[in-house]
């Protein structure tokens, strides 16, 4: 029963998406869902700020318990509902090590993707430099090659091996963003195979960003040469 839970989320946020995937995987679909618009500034509304002084999405409350940080919400849900739905942290220390390693490497992966995709959003006009754009694109390429290698060496179809885990919930949204912005499937065949396989999973389909069903990215070719 997740009727005591409320999730405020935005459609274009990989951080929100990972929490939504975990809620699906743990069979907690009956949570209260509030989709907000970043464009309209709804993440800064009083309703959100009361729960999350950072005014960011996701904002998540379970009864009186607040966990807005996406990694934190994922771990909290897996811990509280350990025996419900799919097990998202393996028991065996060897598998757990890979799982935690990949899970938190998504922090760097997401940053490097964001530095390229959202450069003009993050950096004010007078502070932009072609040298920074070039460096960011090179850093993302290096990062993509690392993940391509991880998938090549993985002991199963998922990012940390045989089972879908919190690491997949955290990395899939980033990979989906990259392909939405034009990442070349031929240049990153393992990432493409992973993306095309995992996107059919029920938890992913059920939480697919609704705005993506309506329209393509503003700049759908941004990453085609990365």
* Closer to a copy of itself by Cβ: residue 70 or 207: 70
Contact between 119 and a copy of itself by CB under 8 A: the answer reads no
Least CB distance to a copy of itself at residue 14 (A):
15
Contact between 129 and a copy of itself by CB under 8 A: the answer reads yes
Give me the 82-111 binding string for a copy of itself, x by CB under 8 A, dash otherwise: -----------xx-xxx-xx-xxx-xx---
Least CB distance to a copy of itself at residue 202 (A):
26
* Closer to a copy of itself by Cβ: residue 59 or 179: 59
Contact between 76 and a copy of itself by CB under 8 A: the answer reads yes
Give me 76's structure tokens.
């909290």
Residue choice 9, 17, 21, 62 for contact with a copy of itself (CB under 8 A): 62
DSSP calls for the chain: --TTEEEEEETT-HHHHHHHHHHHHTT-TTSEEEEE-TTTTGGGSHHHHTT-TT--S-EEEETTEE--SHHHHHHHHHHHTTTSSS--S-SSHHHHHHHHHHHHHHHHHHHHHHHHHTHHHHS-GGG--HHHHHHHHHHHHHHHHHHHHHHHH-SSSBTTBSS--HHHHHHHHHHHHHHHTT--TTTSHHHHHHHHHHTTSHHHHHT--HHHHH---SSTTTTTT-
Return d(Cα 136, Cα 127) in angstroms, integer: 15
Contact between 138 and a copy of itself by CB under 8 A: the answer reads no
Select the span of 26-34, 64-72, 172-180, 196-204 touching a copy of itself (CB under 8 A): 64-72
Contact between 69 and a copy of itself by CB under 8 A: the answer reads yes
Interface with a copy of itself (CB under 8 A): 53-54, 62, 64-73, 75-76, 79-80, 93-94, 96-98, 100-101, 103-105, 107-108, 124, 126-127, 129, 131-132, 146, 149
């Amino acid at each position: 029963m997740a009727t005591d839970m409320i999730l405020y989320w935005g459609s274009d946020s990989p951080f929100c998406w990972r929490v939504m995937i975990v809620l699906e995987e743990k069979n907690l679909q009956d949570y209260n869902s509030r989709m907000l618009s970043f464009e309209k500034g709804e993440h800064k509304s009083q309703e959100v700020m009361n729960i999350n002084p950072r005014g960011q999405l996701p904002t998540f409350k379970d009864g009186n318990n607040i966990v807005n940080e996406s990694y934190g919400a994922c771990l909290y849900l897996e811990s509280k509902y350990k025996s419900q739905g799919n097990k998202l942290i393996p028991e065996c220390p060897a598998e757990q090590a890979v799982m935690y390693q990949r899970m938190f490497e998504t922090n760097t992966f997401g940053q490097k993707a964001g530095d390229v995709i959202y450069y003009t959003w993050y950096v004010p006009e007078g502070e932009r430099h072609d040298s920074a754009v070039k460096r960011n694109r090179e850093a993302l390429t290096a990062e993509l090659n690392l993940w391509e290698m991880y998938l090549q060496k993985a002991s199963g179809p998922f990012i940390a091996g045989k089972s879908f885990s919190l690491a997949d919930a955290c990395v899939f949204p980033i990979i989906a963003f990259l392909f939405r912005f034009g990442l070349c499937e031929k240049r990153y065949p393992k990432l493409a195979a992973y993306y095309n396989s995992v996107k059919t999973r029920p938890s992913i389909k059920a939480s697919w960003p609704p705005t993506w069903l309506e329209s393509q990215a503003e700049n759908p070719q941004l990453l085609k040469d990365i």
